[in-house]
Amino acid sequence: EQSYLTVRDLTVSFPTADGVVRAVQGLSYSVPLGRTLAIVGESGSGKSVSSMAIMGLHDPKSTRMTGSIQLGGHEIVGMSQPELRRHRGSAASMIFQDPQSSLHPYFTVGDQIVEAYRAHHNVSKRVARERAVEMLGRVGIPSPRRRLDDHPHQFSGGMRQRAMIAMALVNDPKLLIADEPTTALDVTVQAQILDLIMDLQRDFGSAVLFITHDLGVVAEIADEVLVMYGGRAVEYGRVDAILGRPLHPYTWGLLESIPAVSGEPTRLHPIPGLPPSLLALPTGCAFHPRCEFPDRVPGTGACAAELPELVSRTADTARQSRCHLHRPDQIFEAEILPRLP
Ligand code: SF4
Ligand code: MG
């Protein structure tokens, strides 16, 4: 299938007074229409950075970008922001953790959806209001016509999230970027919003880029997964392969830290240590200060000295991992699997 979004060897950095923040290095991925790629990592892993660049939400003065981002056939890297907005048009839209970042508190929900629609469609307010009613209904807001003239604060948290999704989808974007959209919600509402996003994706056939720190959410929603650490991809492939038989010790750590079945007291094993600063990444494999396995790698100190390449090590050439271990599959089978909840 043809990819709608293709990122190739993307590097994004921010020179600052304290040094260069290497937010993303050598990142490549693609998302075809109708599929969902989840980008997973802890905060500060660089997982939001490529999506901010796609949306033109980075600061062009302080950002250095190389590599390529193709969105629906247009190269985005190197475009000015007005040019980017024009080319992107309604092709991509984004939903966030906090609806406040897209819904303005002073204006009614209906007016904001109407404005978003009319920015890309030459139609009367009346026609746009009908479209807004349709979209609010589509995202599961009861009595949408009556809610049109409410302000965002008159909606519950989950309903605000739905209204934001309605606004993001009003122009039928081919790419939807969702950055931790359910993180602030309680478990029930979170499940409803994930279902809604999957439903809408089926109906609209859009490509979805879903950014999260939560592998539980990934299992629900993704077709492909890209795990990021220290600004680099460390593991990439189909969701069943990555969650069923991960080959990277960082992914093992993430799996071990998923809360067990909800309701049960969790057997949570957080990964010891802290994510690295993107200002001062560790040498070699950025994960080595937190990794349990460097002494299994032949040759002393290889993990701290040499950056492993992202390569495929199985018959499934689409799946890739970045680690010096020779048989990570055997370690996973013998030592990690028995520990998982
Ligand atoms: Fe751990 Fe070494 Fe693999 Fe990095 S390269 S994940 S430090 S074993
Ligand atoms: Mg983020």
pLDDT tens figures, 71-85 = 999 999 998 888 888
Q: What is the mean pLDDT of the chain?
A: 91
The answer on 120 and 227 residing in a single domain is: no
Q: Residue 260: is its pLDDT beyond 70? A: no
Show Cβ contacts of residue 333 under 8 Å, excluding neighbours closer than 6 positions.
none
In a shared domain, residues 263 and 302: yes
Same domain, residue pair 207 and 253: yes
**Are the beta carbons of 194 and 182 closer than 8 angstroms?**
yes
User: What is 56-116 written as a DSSP string?
Assistant: T-S-TTT-EEEEEEEETTEE-TT--HHHHHHHHTTSEEEE-S-GGGTS-TTS-HHHHHHHH
Percentage of residues in the chain having pLDDT higher than 70: 97
Number of domains in the chain: 2
Per-residue pLDDT band at 98 (split at 50, 70, 90) = confident
pTM of the predicted model, to two decimals? 0.93
132 lies in the same domain as 275: no
CATH code, 278: 3.40.50.300
- Same domain as 182, residue 37: yes
Nearest CA to ligand 1 atom 3: 323
Pocket of ligand 1 (CB under 6 A): 248-249, 285, 287-288, 291, 293-294, 297, 303, 308, 323-325
Distance (angstroms) between ligand 1 centre and the Cα of 325 equals 7
Closest approach atom of ligand 1 to CA 250: 6
Same domain (yes/no): 163, 44? no
Q: What is the pLDDT of residue 264?
A: 47
% of the chain surpassing 90 pLDDT: 69
For residues 296 and 164, membership in a common domain is answered with no
Q: Can you tell me whether residue 190 is helix, strand or coil?
A: helix
> The domain containing residue 82 runs over which residues?
1-91+176-189+203-341
Structure confidence by residue, pLDDT tens digits, 216-242: 899 999 999 999 999 999 999 999 999
Who's near 287: CB < 8 A, 6+ residues apart? 229, 230, 234, 249, 250
The ipTM assigned to this model is 0.96
The distance from CA 7 to its chain's CA centroid, rounded to whole angstroms, is 13
Q: Is residue 305 part of a domain?
A: yes
Residue 212 has pLDDT above 80, yes or no: yes
C-alpha 288/C-alpha 246 separation (Å) is 17
Confidence class for position 265, pLDDT limits 50, 70, 90:
very low
Is residue 253 scored above 90 in pLDDT?
yes
CA of 328 to the centre of ligand 1 (A): 10
